[in-house]
Structure 1
Amino acid sequence: MAELEVSKEDRERLTRLVQDYARDELDQDIGNMEAGFLLDRLIGPLGTVFYNKGLRDASALFARRADDMADELYAMERVHPVDR
């Protein structure tokens, strides 16, 4: 699987969120570089968890829709009078 890529805009937004959290919750002012290092460390493990969760959710949705389609196809079947 390819590395998780984060757009420049998302990376900047996430870096600010890390900085805000450190300041507001930990009373620590950290710079862009430190926040970026922390972000780099967390993106892999957190990204994997959320990516896999998204795949499982999509798979479950697909399975439900496939079941619905199978039910509709079954309802469309015709029975020939000779088969009764």
Structure 2
Amino acid sequence: MAIELTKEARAQAVASIERYFRENMDEPIGNVAAGGLLGFFLEEIGPAIYNKAVFDVQERLQARVSELDLEVHEDEFQYWRKDERSSKGKK
């Protein structure tokens, strides 16, 4: 599955790469080269980050699902018990 960015996100990422090179490297990088570098990162490293994020979400969802019984549990066959409790108060 290819990782795609919106046009706006891609433009911001390319601008960020250009700025990084301007401020931290000996030579600036052009727009086309920055776009190529971004494409490389998305194809080469992006899947590792994406897979880690999916794994993290799965862990969180599994934890929430395991707590679901505690959050929505209802005791069964409570009708008569409710009646018994109210009868004790009437005596």
User: In the aligned structure 2, how far is the partner of 1:65 from the partner of 1:78?
Assistant: 23
Residue 76 (str. 1) matches residue 74 (str. 2): yes
**1:36 aligns to what?**
35
Q: Which runs of 5+ in 2 are unaligned?
A: 78-91
- 1:45 alignment counterpart: 44
Over the matched positions of the two proteins, sequence identity in percent amounts to: 27
Q: Equivalent residue for 1:7?
A: 6
Count of matched residue positions in the alignment of Structure 1 and Structure 2: 78
1:56 Cα deviation from its structure 2 partner: 0.8
List alignment gaps of at least 5 residues for structure 1.
80-84
CA–CA distance in 2 between the matches of 1:51 and 1:77? 41
Q: Distance in 2 between matches of 1:48 and 1:59?
A: 16
- 1:44: Cα distance to partner? 1.3
Say which SS state the counterpart of residue 45 (structure 2) adopts: helix
* Equivalent residue, structure 2, for 1:18: 17
Let me know the Cα RMSD of the aligned residues: 1.9
Q: Which has the larger radius of gyration?
A: 2
Give TM-score, length-normalised by structure 2.
Answer: 0.73
Alignment TM-score, normalising by the size of structure 1: 0.78
Q: Which runs of 4+ in 1 moved over 4 A?
A: none
The one-character-per-residue Cα deviations of 1:11-47 (angstroms, maximum 9, x if unpaired) are 1100011111111111211110011111111111221
Report the equivalent of 1:57: 56
